[in-house]
Amino acid sequence: MFKSEPPINIPTRPTQAEIDLDRLRYNLRSIRKFIGESHLVMAVVKADAYGHGAIQCAQALEKEGVDWFGVALPEEGIELRNAEITTPILCFGNWPGQEDAMLFQNLTPVVYQIERAAAFDAAAARLNQTAKLHIKIDTGMGRVGVPATEVADFAVALKQFQNVEVEGLMTHFAAADEVVSDQTNLQMRLFAAAAETFHANGFQPELIDMANSPGAIVHPDSRATMVRIGGLLYGLGGDVLPRDFPGPDLRPVLSLRSHISYVKTVPTGTTIGYGGTFLTERESVIATVPIGYHDGLPRVLSNNGSVLVNGKRAPIVGRVSMDWTIIDVTDVGDASVGTEVVLLGEQLGQKIRAEDLAELATTISYEITCGLGSRVPRVYLDCAEAG
């Protein structure tokens, strides 16, 4: 049937996430300018860079000279090392059995249990190296970390290990988005006391870090030697910073676009989608878009959200299903098969931000981009690379 080679790659579907690496770099520069050059910046690229693609984002940020990367899992760090990322990588989580591979790949562990320190000490001895650890103190997040009340015992116990070095001391804020925050102030005081205890026990951690995105912006005194920035890098976080708080200028990095697959004109009284939850009240032009909740469009946007078509808002009608979403294009001008639909991003001067979708879905912008499905092709824009 095929005269030459059979085609083995299928062209991509008409739904894609566009990631603008120029904007990512712009956001890093903007954040650095805002917080001052004297603080190191760790770019948090866990969860596939909040859905933006960890390898591509890390490569762009490494070229921009970011100081550290932060990931949740050692597996995520290994993915970056395999892509030839050489910048230091901190793994916020790690589990028994992962020590040798982590040290071998030069991934830095966060540790808060003495058994884990012992395991890294033993692994370092086996590999004939010194393991650099970052010790996490729980000053009020209540999630993981050495309890603030047990710091002294922990520091004393750490002294028994010959093959580990405490390179960093960190904590994580629970409520840094509050402008006046007793909790954040308490966390900073407890953390300063923990640092003193480590010093008194002969440890000299060179990295002292507390601040996540809201901490770095809202609480200048939490910037210490390094800030750990996730959301803001991706231009997210309008909803994790206090409303109207003066922060760095940021640009959303990701947009989500699709194209109409099918259009029909239906009479008054037509039901649309699963459960027939939408009933047309007039003759309507109804279009189907090939994106669904598996792709990350929250099902709670059923009969609730809207999308951009021709720079105008077209409401989502009926239930968002796994692979399809139905929209009412009666009032948005010419819409036919192939017309662009913007679910997230800009079109002809109009925009839908992740924060807007998040508000409708009663979540935060981070969950919207993290929730983009694996079958949504990521397309990277990079003017710097294009020359």
Ligand X SMILES: *Cc1c(COP(=O)(O)O)cnc(C)c1O
Enumerate binding residues for ligand X (CB under 6 A): 44, 46, 92, 172, 212-213, 228-231, 240
Of the two residues 231 and 298, which places its CB atom closer to ligand X in the complex?
Answer: 231
Distance CA 53, CA 275 (A): 36
Cα–Cα distance for residue pair 314/386, rounded to 1 Å: 34
Say which of 33, 159, 264, 274 is annotated catalytic.
274
| Of residues 212 and 321, the one with the C-beta less far from ligand X | 212
Q: Is 46 annotated as catalytic?
A: yes
Q: How far apart are CA 89 and CA 67, in angstroms?
A: 9
Write phi, then psi, for 189 (nearest 5 degrees): -65, -45
Position with the least CB separation from ligand X: 230
Could you tell me which residues come within 8 angstroms of residue 363 by beta carbon, excluding any fewer than 6 positions away?
298
How far apart, in Å, do the first and last CA atoms of the chain sit?
42
Q: CB of residue 158 vs ligand X: minimum separation in angstroms?
A: 20
Annotation marks residue 274 as catalytic = yes
Closest CA to 311 of 351, 281, 273: 351
- Options 3, 26, 46, 312, the catalytic residue: 46
How far is 55 from 289, CA to CA, in rounded Å?
29
Give the shortest CB-145-to-ligand X separation in angstroms. Answer: 10
Nearer to ligand X, 52 or 172 (CB): 172
Distance between CA 153 and CA 148 in Å, rounded? 10
Residue 230 C-beta: closest distance to ligand X, Å = 2
Nearer to ligand X among residue 70 and residue 273 (C-beta): 70
Q: What is d(CA 170, CA 228) in angstroms, rounded to the nearest whole number?
A: 10
CB of 156 to ligand X, least distance (A): 25
In whole angstroms, the minimum distance from the beta carbon of 213 to ligand X comes to: 3
- Residue nearer to ligand X on the CB measure, 230 or 273: 230
By annotation, the residues acting in catalysis are: 46, 274
